[in-house]
Amino acid sequence: MRIFSNFDTRLRQRIYEEYQTNYGIDNVLCFWRSTLYLYYRILIPLTLLVVATVLWLMFFYQRLDGTYLNYIITVFVIIDIVFMFPIIGKYVDYIMDFIVVIPSSIMMYDQWGILKRNIHTISALSIKAISISKSWLLYSLFDNWDILILTEGDTEHDGEIRFRWIPDPEKKKNQIVKIVGIDLKANQNPMI
């Protein structure tokens, strides 16, 4: 589905196929947020919101005998809409954000709502280190960690780019190193 020029739900597929044609199947990697992100940030909060709304409506229906139920439903609809905006934003992140790795660079596509998209490109020559960090227990249980790429000369992000909620990060890190063709040991300073 395409809405405006910035919101295209098939962009990931088109970009991936385009780079596969240009660089070959083995030289392109595309990955996105894990299913854990979908459950933890979208489905569980949405379920809790619906359950809480139904329980509160049942409570008010029993207490007020349906007298002011129309007004209460209107208030809850407004409250639910307010609480749905962040959940919808997380869903757009889940569907639209992705990372593409090609031999010359790494590109991160970050969609913000319907009207804004940021594409951040890291040159393969500026990559100094790739590390994996886990923040908490849930990450470890489901093998979802952050991939941190340290770069040289990137002032916008203080020299580091963090990809969050990445499934099977060690495999992704090894694939990135293979595709970009960097030797991380050669980039290390022997004086450190």
The pTM for the full model equals 0.80
Does residue 186 lie within any of the structural domains? no
One domain, residues 58 and 122: no
Does residue 191 lie within any of the structural domains? no
Please state the domain count of the chain.
2
One domain, residues 65 and 28: no
Structural domain that includes position 120:
2-33+97-180
10 Å CB burial of residue 142 (0-12, 13-18, 19+) is: middle
**What is the per-residue pLDDT across 96-109, written as a single tens digit (0 to 9) for each?**
899 999 999 999 99
Cα gap 104→173, rounded to integer Å:
16
Are 186 and 164 contacting, i.e. CB atoms less than 8 angstroms apart?
no
**What is the per-residue pLDDT across 11-33, written as a single tens digit (0 to 9) for each?**
899 999 999 999 999 999 999 99
One domain, residues 69 and 151: no
Cα gap 21→164, rounded to integer Å:
28
One domain, residues 172 and 126: yes
Return the residue matching tokens 């639209």: 96
Q: Which amino acid, 187?
A: N
One domain, residues 175 and 135: yes
